[in-house]
C-alpha cells in the first residue's frame, strides 16, 4: 500500500510535468518527460558517461578516505580526554554549521580546476560528521564495558581496539555514511561551479548549450548513482551493526 | 547465634585456626568530593572485614550504603580515601586480574561478541595463551550449562542466561576470588532462586573465595557463610551474621526455619537503616 502511494505520487508528478509542457512552457526550458526518457536510454546505451563518472567517483573515494582517516583519528585522539571533548566537540560542531562550500573558491585557487579542488571540498564536508560521530560514539561507551574489561586486565591498546572501538562502531559508521553522502553532494556542487570534468561539469555543460532534455537525463543518472551509493552504504552499515542490539 | 548479635567486632575476624586469611579490609573509607563541598558524599566509613579462603561473604544494606563501593575497592577498580585493603597480604592498588574476577549486575557482556567470544576475550585480556582459550571457554560454558548457546549473541539470551554467561567468563579466568555485584538483581524472583541454588552447587565445587553484594535477604542467607549488614549512608558495617550451614545448599535449606530465622534477624537489623534511607530520599513521611 505504501509502495503504491509512492509510485502514484511519482506518476502524478510526471503527469503534471507532461501537462505543463503541453502549454506555453518552452521545451527549451522544460522538455517533456518522454523526451527525457528517450535521452536517458540513449545515455545508458552509448555509455558515454564513463569518463565523467570515473572522475567523480575517483574524487569521492579520495575525499572519503581522507575524511574517514583524519576524522576518525582526530576524533579518537580528542575522546581520550574529557577536557579535550569539552573543548573540541563544540568547536567542530560550530565549524560544521558554517557553509563550507564558501571555501570552494579558495580551494580552486589552491588546487586548480582539476579533481584536487573537488577532493578538498568533499573531504572538508565529509570530515565533520565523521569526527563528531567518532567523538560522540567513543565518549558514550557504556562504563560497564570499560569496568569489566579493566577488571579482566585489558591493556590500554586492548581497551581501545577490543572495547571502545567496537562499542562506538555503530555511531562512527553512521558518521561515515553521512560523510560519504554529503561529500558526494559537495563534489557534484563543486563540479558545477568550476571544473574540467565530472558528472556535475557534464550537467552544467548541457545546460549552457541549452540541451535540456539530455541535461535532465543526466540528472536522473546522477540520482541513480546517488541511490546506488546510498544502498551500498546502508548495506555496509547493516552488516557492521551485526551482533549489536 | 548469640555472639552474632554481639556488637563487638568478633565476627569481623575469621574464626581462629579454621581458615586462611584471603581478603583483609582494614578501616576503609570512601569519600567523594572535597571537604566543605555541599555535594560531598561519604559513601563508606571505617569498614573492616576479613574474608577467609573459600568463604562466601554477602554484603547487604540499603541503597547507597557503600556495599558496591566496597566491592569496587576490593577489586581495585577504585582507590579508597582511607584505610587499606590486602589480598593475600598484598595491598590492592589496581585491578588484579590474575587473582580476582568480577560478575557485574548486567550489561557487562560485550554485545558485539558471541557468548564464546566474550569468554575468550576475558582470557585474552588476562593474558592466557591463545592455545588454551577454546578448551577453557568450552569447559566453563559447560559448567554453567550454556554450551549450546556458545554461538549466541548476548541480546539473544534471557536475563538469567546472560548472568550465567558472565559467570562463565569469570570462571574461565580461574581466579581464586570472585566478586559479584548484585549479579541477579535484574532477574525475577524464581529465576533468581534457581540461579542461587545452582551457584551454591558450583561454588562448593570450585572452592573460590567470594564477596557477593545483594539486596535480597533470602539470597544473602541462602548463599553466604557470613552476611555483613550495612548501615544507611554514611555506610558502615553494622553487624556480621554467621550462617552455619555447609555447601552446597539445597532447597531444603531454602525452606528451612533456620533460614527464615536468620532472614528475620537480618530484616530487624536492616529495617531502621532502610527507613532512614527512605526518609533522606523523601519517600517516607
Pair type for strands B41-52 and B21-32: antiparallel
Q: What per-residue confidence (pLDDT) applies to A63?
A: 97
What mean pLDDT value characterizes chain B?
85
Q: Which chain A residues contact residue B108 at CB under 8 A? A: 144-145, 147-148
Select, from the ranges B124-133, B240-249, B275-284, the one with the highest average predicted confidence (pLDDT): B124-133
Question: What average pLDDT score do residues B257-273 get?
Answer: 87
Q: How far apart are CA B137 and CA B166, in angstroms?
A: 12
Give the list of residues 6+ apart from residue A103 with CB closer than 8 angstroms, or none: A121, A124
Return the C-alpha cell found at A16.
503534471
pLDDT of residue B7: 42
Integer Cα distance of B186 and B114 in angstroms: 21
Question: Are B164 and B146 contacting, i.e. CB atoms less than 8 angstroms apart?
Answer: yes
| B39-54 burial: b if 16+ Cβ within 10 Å, else e | eeebbbbebebbbbbb
Residue in chain A nearest B95 by alpha carbon: A151
Q: Chain A contacts of B95, Cβ < 8 Å? A: 150-153
CB-CB neighbors (< 8 A) of A154 in chain B: 125
B63: phi then psi, degrees, rounded to nearest 5 = -55, 140
CA-nearest of B261, B134, B246 to B201 is: B246
Q: Give residue B132's pLDDT band: very low, low, confident or very high (50, 70, 90).
A: very high
Percent of chain B with pLDDT over 70: 92
Q: Which residue has the higher pLDDT, B234 or A168?
A: A168
Lowest mean pLDDT among B1-10, B213-222, B239-248: B1-10
B122 contacts in A (CB within 8 Å)? 152
pLDDT number for residue B12: 55
**A145, B108 Cβ separation under 8 angstroms:** yes
Question: Does residue B246 register a pLDDT over 90?
Answer: no
Contact residues on chain B for A155, CB-CB shorter than 8 A: 125
How far is B181 from chain A, CA to nearest CA, in Å?
12
pLDDT at position B1 over 50 = no
| Chain B touched by A148 (CB under 8 Å) | yes
- What is the model's pLDDT at position B60? 92
Minimum-distance CB partner of A158 among B101, B111, B125:
B125
Q: How confident is the model over A106-149, as pLDDT tens digits? A: 999 999 999 999 999 999 999 999 999 999 999 999 989 999 99
Give the gap in angstroms from C-alpha B94 to the nearest C-alpha of chain A.
Answer: 9
Instruction: State how far residue B137 is from chain A, nearest Cα, in angstroms.
Output: 15
What three-state secondary structure class fits B242?
Answer: strand
CA of A89 vs chain B CAs: smallest distance (Å): 27
Residue from A1, A6, A175 nearest A76 by CA: A175
**Residue range B250-263: average pLDDT?**
87
The answer to whether the CB of A75 falls within 8 A of the CB of A160 is no
CA B252, chain centre distance (Å): 23
Q: How many helices (H) and strands (E) are present in chain B, helices listed first?
A: 9, 10
pLDDT of residue B277: 78
| pLDDT band at residue B89 under the 50/70/90 scheme | confident
As a whole-number percent, the residues of chain A with pLDDT over 70 amount to 98
Say yes or no for a CB contact (<8 Å) between B125 and A142.
no
Query: Any residues with CB less than 8 A from the CB of B229 and at least 6 apart, and which?
Result: B60, B61, B237, B238, B239, B240, B241, B266, B269, B270, B273
| DSSP strand pairing (B209-214 vs B41-52) | unpaired
Question: How many Cβ contacts (< 8 angstroms) between chains A and B?
Answer: 66
List pLDDT tens digits, range A180-206. 999 999 999 999 998 989 999 999 999
CB contact, 8 Å: A150 with chain B?
A: yes
CB-based contact, A169 to chain B, within 8 Å: yes
What is the per-residue pLDDT across B33-57, written as a single tens digit (0 to 9) for each? 887 788 888 888 888 999 998 899 9
Cβ-nearest to A152 among B114, B126, B153: B126
Please give the residue of chain B at the shortest CA–CA distance from A143: B108
Query: Which residues are B227's β-sheet partners?
Result: B58, B241
User: Which among B97, B107, B153 is the nearest to A151, CB-wise?
Assistant: B97
- pLDDT given at position A22: 83
Establish whether the linkage from the previous residue to A82 is cis, with ω within 30° of 0.
Answer: no
Beta strands in B61-131 (DSSP E): 82-87, 90-91, 100-103
**Left, alpha or beta for B114 (phi > 0: left; psi -120 to 50: alpha)?**
beta
Residue A166 to residue B97, Cβ atoms within 8 A: no
Indicate the range of A31-35, B42-46, B196-200, B281-285 predicted with least confidence: B281-285
* Cell numbers that stand for A232 in this block: 551500498
Q: What is the pLDDT of residues A49-100, one digit of tens each?
A: 899 999 999 999 999 999 999 999 999 999 988 899 999 999 999 999 888 8
End-to-end, the C-alpha distance of chain A in Å comes to 29
CA dihedral B42, B48, B49, B50 (to 10 degrees): 140
**Spatial separation of the C-alpha atoms in residues A16 and A14, rounded to whole Å:** 5
**Is the predicted pLDDT of residue B17 greater than 70, yes or no?**
no
- Mean pLDDT of the region A217-227: 92
Q: Which of B94, B112, B159, B166 best probes binding to A when mutated, by most A CB atoms within 10 angstroms? A: B112
Q: What is the pLDDT of residue B66?
A: 85
Q: Is the pTM of this model over 0.90?
A: no
Which residue(s) pair with B241 in the sheet?
B227
Binned at pLDDT 50, 70 and 90, residue B8 comes out as: very low
Ordered alpha helix ranges (H), A140-241: 143-151, 156-158, 165-193, 199-208, 212-241
Other CB atoms within 10 Å distance of the CB of residue B227: 29
Option in A151, A166, A244 nearest B77 (CB): A151
The answer for residues whose C-beta is within 8 angstroms of residue B159's C-beta and 6 or more apart is B106, B186, B187, B191
3-state secondary structure A13-63: HHHHHHHHHHCCCCCCCCCCHHHHHHHHHHHHHHCCCHHHHHHHHHHHHHH
Residues of chain A with C-beta less than 8 angstroms from the C-beta of B153: 243
Which residue from A144, A162, A243 is facing B121, i.e. has the nearest CB? A162
**What number of other Cβ atoms are within 10 A of residue B17's Cβ?**
6
Residue B186: other Cβ atoms inside 10 A: 15
Q: Is the dihedral of CA B263, B265, B270, B272 positive or negative?
A: positive
Q: Residue B285 has what pLDDT?
A: 46
As given in the structure block, the three cell numbers for residue B171 are 570462571
d(CA B103, CA B117): 17
The pLDDT value recorded for residue A32 is 87
Measured between beta carbons, the chain A residues lying within 8 angstroms of B77 are 147, 150-151
The average pLDDT across B266-283 equals 79
Contacts of A241 (CB under 8 A, 6+ apart): A169, A170, A173
End-to-end, the C-alpha distance of chain B in Å comes to 35
Amino acid at each position: 500500500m505504501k509502495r503504491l502511494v509512492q509510485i502514484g505520487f511519482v506518476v502524478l508528478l510526471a503527469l503534471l510535468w507532461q501537462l505543463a509542457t503541453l502549454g506555453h512552457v518552452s521545451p527549451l526550458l522544460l522538455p517533456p518527460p518522454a523526451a527525457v526518457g528517450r535521452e536517458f536510454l540513449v545515455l545508458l546505451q552509448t555509455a558515454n558517461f564513463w569518463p565523467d563518472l570515473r572522475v567523480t567517483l575517483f574524487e569521492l573515494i579520495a575525499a572519503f578516505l581522507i575524511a574517514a582517516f583524519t576524522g576518525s583519528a582526530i576524533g579518537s585522539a580528542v575522546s581520550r580526554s574529557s577536557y579535550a571533548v569539552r573543548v573540541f566537540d563544540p568547536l567542530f560542531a560550530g565549524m560544521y554549521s558554517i557553509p563550507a562550500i564558501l571555501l570552494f573558491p579558495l580551494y580552486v585557487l589552491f588546487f586548480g580546476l582539476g579533481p584536487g579542488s573537488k577532493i578538498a571540498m568533499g573531504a572538508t564536508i565529509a570530515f565533520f560528521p565523521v569526527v563528531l560521530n567518532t567523538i560522540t560514539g567513543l565518549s558514550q561507551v557504556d562504563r560497564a564495558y570499560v569496568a569489566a574489561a579493566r577488571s579482566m586486565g585489558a591493556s590500554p591498546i586492548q581497551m581501545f581496539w577490543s572495547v571502545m572501538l567496537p562499542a562506538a562502531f555503530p555511531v562512527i559508521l553512521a558518521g561515515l555514511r553521512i560523510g560519504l553522502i554529503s561529500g558526494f553532494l559537495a563534489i557534484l556542487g563543486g563540479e558545477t561551479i568550476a571544473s574540467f570534468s565530472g558528472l556535475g561539469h557534464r550537467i552544467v555543460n548541457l545546460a549552457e548549450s541549452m540541451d535540456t532534455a539530455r541535461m535532465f537525463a543526466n540528472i536522473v543518472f546522477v540520482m541513480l548513482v546517488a541511490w546506488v551509493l546510498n544502498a551500498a552504504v546502508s548495506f555496509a552499515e547493516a552488516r557492521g551493526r551485526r551482533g549489536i542490539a | 547465634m548469640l555472639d552474632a548479635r554481639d556488637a563487638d567486632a568478633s565476627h569481623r575476624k575469621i574464626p581462629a585456626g579454621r581458615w586462611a586469611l584471603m581478603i583483609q579490609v582494614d578501616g576503609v573509607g570512601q569519600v567523594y568530593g572535597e571537604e566543605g563541598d555541599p555535594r560531598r558524599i561519604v559513601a563508606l566509613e571505617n569498614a573492616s572485614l576479613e574474608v577467609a579462603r573459600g568463604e562466601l561473604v554477602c554484603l547487604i544494606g540499603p541503597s547507597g550504603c557503600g556495599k558496591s563501593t566496597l566491592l569496587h575497592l576490593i577489586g581495585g577498580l577504585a582507590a579508597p580515601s582511607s584505610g587499606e585493603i590486602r589480598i593475600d597480604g598484598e595491598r590492592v592498588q589496581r585491578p588484579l586480574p590474575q587473582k580476582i574476577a568480577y560478575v557485574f549486575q548486567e550489561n557487562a557482556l560485550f554485545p558485539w561478541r558471541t557468548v564464546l567470544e566474550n569468554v575468550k576475550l576475558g582470557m585474552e585480556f588476562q593474558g592466557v595463551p591463545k592455545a588454551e582459550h577454546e578448551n577453557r571457554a568450552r569447559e566453563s560454558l559447560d559448567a554453567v550449562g550454556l554450551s549450546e548457546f556458545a554461538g549466541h549473541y548476548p541480546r539473544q539470551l534471557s536475563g538469567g542466561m546472560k548472568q550465567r554467561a558472565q559467570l562463565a567468563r569469570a570462571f574461565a579466568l580461574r581466579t581464586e576470588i570472585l566478586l559479584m555485584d548484585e549479579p541477579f538483581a535484574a532477574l525475577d524472583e524464581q529465576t533468581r532462586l534457581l540461579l542461587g541454588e545452582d551457584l551454591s552447587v558450583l561454588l562448593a565445587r570450585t572452592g573460590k573465595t567470594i564477596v557477593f553484594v545483594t539486596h535480597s535477604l533470602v539470597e544473602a542467607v541462602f548463599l553466604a557463610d557470613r552476611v555483613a549488614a550495612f548501615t544507611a549512608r554514611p555506610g558502615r558495617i553494622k553487624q556480621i551474621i554467621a550462617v552455619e550451614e555447609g555447601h552446597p545448599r539445597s532447597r531444603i535449606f531454602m525452606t528451612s526455619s533456620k533460614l527464615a530465622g536468620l532472614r528475620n534477624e537480618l530484616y530487624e537489623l536492616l529495617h531502621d537503616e532502610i527507613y532512614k534511607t527512605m526518609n533522606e530520599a523523601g519517600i517516607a513521611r
